[in-house]
Amino acid sequence: MQWTNNKFMTTLGISIVLALGMISVVFGVIHLSSGGANPVPTPALLMAFAIVFVLGSVFFEERGADRIGALVGGGITAAIVSLIMMLVCGGVLHLLTHGMETGIDKIISMLAVCMVIGMAAFSYLRAHR
């Protein structure tokens, strides 16, 4: 039995990955709001923005958007992906440097809550596909 065919393990894995992403974003906001610098080098951030901008623009144009709408959609998508990338990297950096100050019990509690939220969102999105 492969674990990818096991619905329980797949759903649990997706829930854990979503929860870790949410926790990283929250700690990334804490890192940036406490005066932390951008953890992602600017050239890498600009390259990620450019790649997602191009791919997003083509995606929206293929979906029927006009040229301006496709460019705006690509720009918004690229900005969101760049921000999430910056927040996740900042969150990981913050957890590595200040994780013990937060307390393992709080982090595990956050993980449990985020797993429930991630599972609810995943189930909702899967049902509306």
Please say if the pLDDT value at position 1 is more than 60: no
| Alpha carbons 62 and 85: distance in angstroms, whole number | 25
Domain definitions of the chain by residue range: 40-127
pTM: 0.78
Q: Residue 56: its pLDDT value, please? A: 94
- Sequence-ordered list of residues with C-beta below 8 angstroms from that of 83, at least 6 positions apart, any chain: none
pLDDT in tens, 44-90: 999 999 999 999 999 999 998 899 999 999 999 999 999 999 999 99
Please say if the pLDDT value at position 119 is more than 80: yes
Secondary structure (3-state) at 64: coil
Rounded mean pLDDT, 2-7: 68
